[in-house]
Amino acid sequence: TDSSSFDQSKRMRTGGDYTHGGYPHPGSYPPAAPVWGPQG
């Protein structure tokens, strides 16, 4: 339950440092590009 609230705050603050969300290292992906910008 905390994951949702925490994830939102974390992804808004860090933008790409949310490896706990199921994403690879933040260095592999740009800052919140694969999240806010649909690349496909």
Question: Which residue is it, tokens 């690349």?
Answer: 39
Rounded Cα gap, residues 29 and 35, in angstroms? 10
Q: What is the pLDDT of residue 34?
A: 52
Q: What is the pLDDT of residue 26?
A: 53
Specify the DSSP class assigned to residue 32: T
Rounded Cα gap, residues 15 and 35, in angstroms? 8
Residue 10 identity:
K
Q: What is the pLDDT of residue 32?
A: 53
Q: What is the pLDDT of residue 8?
A: 59
Task: Read off the pLDDT of residues 2-40 as tens digits, 9 standing for 90 and up.
Answer: 556 655 555 555 555 544 555 555 555 455 555 555 554
Q: Is the torsion defined by CA of 24, 27, 40, 36 positive or negative?
A: positive
Rounded Cα gap, residues 40 and 32, in angstroms? 15
Q: What is the pLDDT of residue 28?
A: 52
Show me where the domains of the chain are located. Answer: 2-36
